[in-house]
Amino acid sequence: MTKNPTKNQTTDSLHTVWENGGFLGLVCKACDHRAVLDRSAMPIIRWNNMTPLRSLTFRCGSCGASGKGPEHWTMFLPMDAEQARRFVSGYDDVQRADI
């Protein structure tokens, strides 16, 4: 029924990630493992892809937990490769994504 999917999102989408620099930081809630996906790892990070982040299923590279949404993941939006590296090494000065 949605006529204009670009205007009804209240949570962050892949478009938000693209707009913010193209990096998506993930923290696994099961084991606290951190990872960053970029556009080469995840080509669906692109302009006008309004797929909400909470609808994407990820699998943790550390504990193997698989799932989607805020029950499984905390997501962050590093602005550049440097912030992405800091995020993975444990710094929390990165903007949190709204999922």
Q: Which stretch binds Zn ion (CB under 5 A): 1-9, 11-19, 20-28, 82-90?
A: 20-28
Query: What mask of x and - would describe binding to Zn ion in positions 44 to 83, judged by CB under 5 A?
Result: ----------------x-xx-x------------------
Nearer to Zn ion, 21 or 67 (CB): 67
Nearer to Zn ion, 15 or 72 (CB): 72
Q: Which stretch binds Zn ion (CB under 5 A): 9-17, 26-34, 49-57, 80-88?
A: 26-34
* Long-range contacts at 42-49 (CB < 8 A, ≥ 24 apart): 44/14, 45/14, 45/17, 45/18, 46/14, 46/15, 46/18, 47/15, 47/18, 47/19, 48/6, 48/15, 49/13, 49/14, 49/15, 49/18
Q: Does 33 bind Zn ion (CB under 5 A)?
A: yes
